[in-house]
Amino acid sequence: MRVVVQRSLSSSVSINNKIVGKISKGLVLLVGFNIDDTIEKLDYMINKILKLRIFDDDNGIMNKSVIDIKGEILSISQFTLYADTTKGNRPSYINAMKNTEAEKLYNLFNKKLSEKIKVETGIFGSDMKVNITNDGPVTIILER
């Protein structure tokens, strides 16, 4: 499982010019699943994301989590995170989890996250336009 975490001041996702998910201060997650991913890896990643201290405290030090700041999460499915470009110039997605399985894990990921924090999403498999106001910019890549 690979997640690109971006600290955000505000972000949204739209499909066919209609906003389907929107957050104020919090995290944007670009989420991709590998063929070997499991629920255990998913649980690890949720815990890591919720406790990741990348928001400033009163001294300007990144010492607070998204939970600490009462932030929100915008979760976007992105199978292209598992693009393999080692051979040629056209990416291969052979290591990305197949659509049906990935959608199940993605929905479970968001369900479990939403038990702890407000979560907005796009629509799995759709052509989405994601508008991110990255704060910092702060971008962290997590992999499990």
Yes or no: say if 55 and 6 are a contact pair by the CB < 8 Å rule: no
In sign, the C-alpha dihedral spanning 121, 64, 69, 54 is: negative
Domain segments of the chain: what residues?
A: 2-143
How far apart (Å, rounded) are the C-alpha atoms in residues 54 and 125?
Answer: 29
| Per-residue pLDDT reduced to its tens digit, 78-97 | 999 999 999 999 999 999 99
Yes or no: say if 14 and 23 are a contact pair by the CB < 8 Å rule: no
Q: Return the closest-CA partner of residue 42 out of 96, 94, 95, 111.
A: 111
Q: Where are the beta strands (DSSP E) in the chain?
A: 2-15, 18-23, 26-32, 55-56, 62-64, 72-77, 118-121, 129-143
Active-site pick, 6, 33, 78, 121: 78
| pTM beyond 0.85, yes or no | yes
Respond yes or no: is residue 78 known to be catalytic: yes
* Token pair listed for 85: 């470009």
Respond yes or no: is residue 133 known to be catalytic: no
pLDDT in 10s for each residue of the chain, 144 residues: 999 999 999 999 999 999 999 999 999 999 999 999 999 999 999 999 999 999 999 999 999 999 999 999 999 999 999 999 999 999 999 999 999 999 999 999 999 999 999 999 999 989 999 999 999 999 999 999
pLDDT of residue 105: 97
| Per-residue pLDDT reduced to its tens digit, 126-139 | 999 999 999 999 99
Active-site pick, 33, 55, 79, 109: 79
Topology of the domain covering 2-143 = D-tyrosyl-trna(Tyr) Deacylase; Chain: A; (3.50.80)
Other CB atoms within 10 Å distance of the CB of residue 29: 24
Query: In the 8-state DSSP scheme, what is residue 98?
Result: P
pLDDT of residue 143: 96
pLDDT of residue 85: 94
Query: In the 8-state DSSP scheme, what is residue 96?
Result: B
Respond yes or no: is residue 79 known to be catalytic: yes
